[in-house]
Structure 1
Amino acid sequence: MSKAPARTPTGRCCTSTSAARSPRPCTPTARPPAPSRKPPGSAHWSWTSGWPEHPYPAQLDDAETAYRWLLAQGYQPQNIGSTGHSIGGTLAIMLPLRLLANGEPTPGAIVSISPWTDLTIANPKVDENEENDKMLSRNTLELFRGAWLQDPALDFADPKISLVNADLTGLPPTVVHYGEYETLAGDGAELGHRLTEFKVTSAVHPMPEGQHSFILAAGRVPEVDQAIAQMGQWLRLHLGA
């Protein structure tokens, strides 16, 4: 009896990265999940290993591994969303930029939540919002930066790691969400300005009084649920377009 041909997935899917609050910085594993253990159309991994053991660019390499795994399952680039929260929101944009530099197709849309886009930590909002943001401070950002960027030759202003200095030409439709009370509020706002400068289809949604990791209040704070609904609408609108 002949074997039925494999079916090409026709749905939409996302690569997703996020960082949970923990006593020390952490990094994603590089093992995309078995399809039977996750909902169809999702490649999501958690942050488990300490950054000192896995410095930059290990996390970006992992994001690329997850993306290529989805492609290998038959998903088309335009049906894949690149999404992430915190440093994952940064990686959600770094991945398409790496693909563009290699002349390869990018995911069809980006959702970047509370991204860290200026590794020089020069934005004035870092200090202005320190009393409001209970998740991050200048000291914790400096700690995370030192653990992540261990190569002494790296310039913190390098466009490869500080997206506020990057050429964003060619990025797919990108939405940025951030909390107005978080230390990285200025990073999110500046990224929004840069997306407009490079004529990227984009939208920016500041969460009033939102702190870093405001998204963790999903299911408990109506404004957060509304923001998540907006993210879903963005992906439905642009994936497969």
Structure 2
Amino acid sequence: MINLSSVTMRRMVRTTSKWFLNGRCPLWLQRKGLNLLGGYAFLPKPIKIEKSMIAARPVWWFNLDNRRSEQVILYFHGGGYGIGSPRSHRDLCAYLALYANTSVASIAYRLAPEHPYPAAIDDGMAAYKALMDSGFSPDKITLAGDSAGGGLALTLALKIKAQNLPQPACLFLISPWINKSREAVSHVTQFEVDPVINESWSLQMAGNYLQNSAQITAEACLVDKDLSGIAPMLIHVGTDEVLLDDSLLLKQKAIKAGVHVTLITFKELWHVFHFSASLFKPARMALKQAGEYIHSMMN
């Protein structure tokens, strides 16, 4: 476990993001790069990884002492629906499992442009149903994710409601991408301070997933959806990130819909700073707070 300063961590994040997260970098290299950045940190004791399949998709289980718990966090990685994997988010998921004292199932949902909208949603929904079919009670399941994965988790809660299925215990959303129309102010003004997201990359990912279709974009955008009746949610967001307004708007919408919501903002931190938990103490502290919230909601 290492404790890098915020200044050092920000520089590292900005440098690596410039290498891999830009519209000029081939997609295959973006995917390999993100896996490299997040996939090889030492696992915290006593977390062990179990690789299997769920609903015909690969899934990495992060278990304590090689045993699946009676509760589970179904985790959806970020990466603009085009990159990312259970390997890339290995560090984050391991610490979330540790602090929640709960197994995390990180699913490798299908990615765009090979599998555009709504492939990821279909995979997520199939995984949720498969968990219930395997014996997990809905009140022992948490849906969680970061960035695009956070938007995916929220979309699933809405799909679950539409299909009259029981809601999960709660949602944990890290900087969720909910406004696909780019009308939020922070989508324009925050590129200079966010060391992770740049405009060319965000346009590339959105175009791949939404197929540059106005109709699909409107359908996928979550800002105008009825949130009433969905599970309680915890939202984490940094003040120095492009998707800041997505989280602020989501809180307002949730309150108006009567959904219990807790929003925590992290001053001068960037998009999904939780990613490098083994290197950055604020990331571990944020995941500890989230883990305690999740544990309390499922017990």
Equivalent residue, structure 2, for 1:173: 232
SS in 2 for 1:223: helix
Of 165, 168, 179, the residue aligned with 1:118 is 179
C-alpha distance 129-152 of structure 1, shift in aligned 2 (>3 A): closer
Residues 181-224 of structure 1, C-alpha deviations (whole Å, 9 max, x = no match): 11001111111111111111110011111111211131322222
Of 34, 39, 45, the residue aligned with 2:107 is 45
In structure 1, distance between residues paired with 2:214 and 2:252: 29
Larger helix percent: 2
Residues 32-54 of structure 1, C-alpha deviations (whole Å, 9 max, x = no match): xxxxxxx984421246x651110
**TM-score normalized by structure 1?**
0.83
Of 165, 178, 195, the residue aligned with 1:134 is 195
In structure 2, distance between residues paired with 1:10 and 1:19: 24
Letter in 2 for 1:87: A
C-alpha distance 153-211 of structure 1, shift in aligned 2 (>3 A): closer
Q: Greater relative contact order: 1 or 2 (C-alpha under 8 angstroms, separation 6 or more)?
A: 2
Equivalent residue, structure 2, for 1:25: 82
In structure 2, distance between residues paired with 1:94 and 1:100: 10
Letter in 1 for 2:234: V
Aligned length: 218
Equivalent residue, structure 1, for 2:259: 200
Indicate the percent of aligned positions where both proteins have the same amino acid: 27
Equivalent residue, structure 2, for 1:82: 143
SS in 2 for 1:203: strand
Equivalent residue, structure 2, for 1:214: 273
Letter in 2 for 1:187: D
Equivalent residue, structure 2, for 1:191: 250
List structure 1 runs of 4+ shifted beyond 6 angstroms: none
**TM-score normalized by structure 2?**
0.67
Alpha-carbon contact 1:90-1:115 (below 8 Å) kept: yes
In structure 1, distance between residues paired with 2:85 and 2:133: 20
Alpha-carbon contact 2:143-2:171 (below 8 Å) kept: yes
Letter in 2 for 1:217: S
Letter in 1 for 2:117: Y
Alpha-carbon contact 1:178-1:206 (below 8 Å) kept: yes
Identify unmatched segments of 5+ residues in structure 1: 1-8, 30-38
Alpha-carbon contact 1:43-1:66 (below 8 Å) kept: no
CA RMSD in angstroms comes to 2.3
